[in-house]
Structure 1
Amino acid sequence: MQDHNDRAREAIERAKGNVVHSIAETMDLYGVTPSAGRLYGTMYFENAMTLDEMKEELKMSKPSMSTAVRTLQEINVVHKTWQKGSRKDVFVAEKNFFKSLIHFFCIKWMREVRLNLKAIELSEVDLQAVIQNTKVDKAIRADAHRHFELIHESKKYYYWLEMLVDSFETGDIFRYLPIPDDDKK
């Protein structure tokens, strides 16, 4: 009986290890270091952890652990919570990948939209000034006009991206791409 229990525990640890490793490997897509990814993967299987518990589990220094937790909090995959009877900060991992993905990408996409639309707006003003300046060579004005048309056309993408973000934030995206209710595709 003990031998069966030991093998079962080993199988559970191996399964958790596989998932933790895969999460750590893919977290770089989110700009997260592998050690922070391992932390998130570890926390994913736990209900709540203190910094000391994280440090012990992952054998990392407390400053490294604090940095990793802060990084994970910034992308909204780890949250500080209150636990009755504990004076230490307690953290929990977001287990809803849909919620994490939506939050993360919406922040990134809206930053892209704001930065690029602002740059386009400023550039259009400059290019319009060149286009309308009759003292400037006709070939230069034509070049400015070509550049104006290019960047003006790119605004469609940024407006579309804004709509995509809105569809994620409102949940409308799930009307078109519903979350499967089982493990089938």
Structure 2
Amino acid sequence: MSLDQLNEEQQSKIMNIRKRVIQTVGKNMELYGLTSSAGHLYGLLFFANQPMTLDDMGREMEMSKTSMSTSVRNLLDLQMVNKVWSKGSRKDQYEVEYDWHQTFMDYFTIKWRQAAESNLLTFRKAIEELNRLLKEHDEDEKLYEILSRDKKKMEEAVAYYKWLNRLIDTMESEEIFQLVPKEELDK
């Protein structure tokens, strides 16, 4: 059943509920590094009963095709929407990824892994440099103390990023659900 099969009052009530949900989702998309308009687009796709083209979304959202395309590309990159094939259509169509657990894990594992690996590399190189300086300046107590203190802080950071990588591993392997099970829907 679609909304156009309902009377005007029923349609209005449903649309008001949907608008509130879409507004809230849009506001919270900044957690994913997205604009609120990308969040509103996600909300539109969430409530759509079938995949939509950029033209369909543009008409509904009253956004430019460029803005729409950028938002869709960002949602695709974060694996929050999927491009789907539709028989007889030459235009790309999109639908929401409804597995929110997977969406969360995909986003955070991609972003966290990139940050963790980049930071680990930087800290490890810095520790190597500090080790060289410590050997070269082991006679200078003040400098040695500062270098040692910095090295300890950086080693603590490396330990954190190694832990973060293990956390990411539990998400990618879905072991996380053994520790924090998914909620079951009430029937």
TM-score, normalised by the number of residues in structure 1: 0.93
Instruction: Tell me if the contact between 2:138 and 2:144 (Cα under 8 Å) persists in the aligned partners.
Output: no
Q: Which residue of 2 aligns with 1:127?
A: 130
SS of corresponding position for 1:92: strand
Question: Contact 1:43/1:93 (CA < 8 Å) preserved in 2?
Answer: yes
Tell me which residue corresponds to 1:13: 15
Identify the residue that residue 71 of structure 2 maps to in structure 1.
68
- RMSD over aligned Cα atoms: 1.6
* Separation in structure 2 between the aligned mates of residue 39 and residue 153 of structure 1, nearest angstrom: 41
Maintained 8 Å contact 1:110/1:162: yes
1:108 to 107, 111, 122: 111
CA deviations on 1:91-134 (whole Å, 9 max, x unpaired) are 11111111100000001110121111101111011111111114
Tell me, what secondary structure is at the counterpart of 2:166?
A: helix
Cα distance in 2, alignment partners of residues 164 and 135 from structure 1? 38
What SS is found at the alignment partner of 2:148? Answer: helix
**Does the Cα contact within 8 Å between 2:137 and 2:143 map onto a contact in 1?**
no
Displacement of 1:30 = 0.9
1:93-172 equivalent positions in 2, closer than 5 A: 93-134=96-137, 137-172=140-175
Distance 2:16 2:27 in 1: 16
Which ranges in structure 1 are unaligned for 5 or more consecutive residues?
none
Contact 1:131 1:142 (8 Å CA) reproduced: no
Alignment: residue pair count: 181
Residue 7 of structure 2 aligns to a residue whose secondary structure is helix
Give the whole-Å Cα distance in 2 for the aligned partners of 1:12 and 1:136. Answer: 76
Question: Taking every aligned residue pair, what percent have the same amino acid on both sides?
Answer: 34
Distance 1:34 1:158 in 2: 30
Q: For 1:34 and 1:136, locate their aligned partners in 2 and report how far apart those are by CA, in whole Å.
A: 57
3-state SS, counterpart of residue 28 of structure 1 = helix
- 2-structure distance, mates of 1:49, 1:153: 48
Q: Unaligned regions of 5+ residues in structure 2, if any? A: 1-5
Contact in 1 for aligned 2:79/2:107 (Cα 8 Å): yes
Picking from 28, 31, 40, the partner of 1:29 is 31
Partners of 2:64 and 2:119 lie apart in 1 by 40
Partner of residue 3, structure 2: none
Q: Secondary structure at the match of 1:154?
A: helix
Distance 2:130 2:94 in 1: 51
Q: Tell me the amino acid that sits aligned with residue 165 of structure 2.
A: E
Given residue 96 of structure 2, which amino acid in structure 1 is its aligned partner? A
| Structure 1 residue 137, shift from structure 2 partner | 2.2
